[in-house]
Copies of this chain bind each other. A is one copy, B any other.
Amino acid sequence: MKYIDKLRNSGLRPTKQRLQICEVLFNTERTFHFTINELEQKIKDKIDNKISLATIYNTVHAFEKKGYLKQIPVNSNQTYFDTNITDHHHFYNLKDGKLIDLENSDVGPINIKRKIDGKKIKSIEVLVKLED
């Protein structure tokens, strides 16, 4: 299995549940955005056995900590994640709550001129809100 090493290498035991979640998240043509509820549904559709909601939360957080997923900063009652972990930005369609990737080249370089003592920049994220 191709995800076993990935998990082992990052100190996560390759359990059946994690491997199945890897299939759903990473064995895809394209990257995608999701909330936990959407992921839960996707898992139900693609997997025979049940994976508990707690495990889905645990796994998503574990994967995010390891850098296999990114959280997207949006104002919503649910947390949005992205399987696209490259440096990029988002359109946010206010009407339906859907996200669209914006390649870095679609935004151009962002140069933060101000520095904060003793802190370093972990990420720079641009959110472009869309309305009709």
Contacts and interface: CB of A to CB of B under 8 A. Distances in A.
A91 B123 CA distance: 10
A121 interface: yes
Interface in A82-126: 91, 93-94, 100, 102-103, 105-108, 110-114, 116, 118-126
Contacts of A29: none
Contacts of A129: 121-125
A132 to B, nearest CB: 7
A119 B110 contact: no
B113 A107 contact: yes
A36 to B, nearest CB: 13
A132 B118 contact: yes
B127 A122 contact: no
B130 A119 contact: yes
Given A75-B79, A93-B119, A124 B114 contact: no
B116 A130 contact: yes
Closest 9 CB pairs of A and B: A119-B130, A106-B114, A122-B129, A122-B131, A123-B129, A73-B73, A106-B113, A125-B127, A73-B75
Interface of A: 71-75, 79, 91, 93-94, 100, 102-103, 105-108, 110-114, 116, 118-132
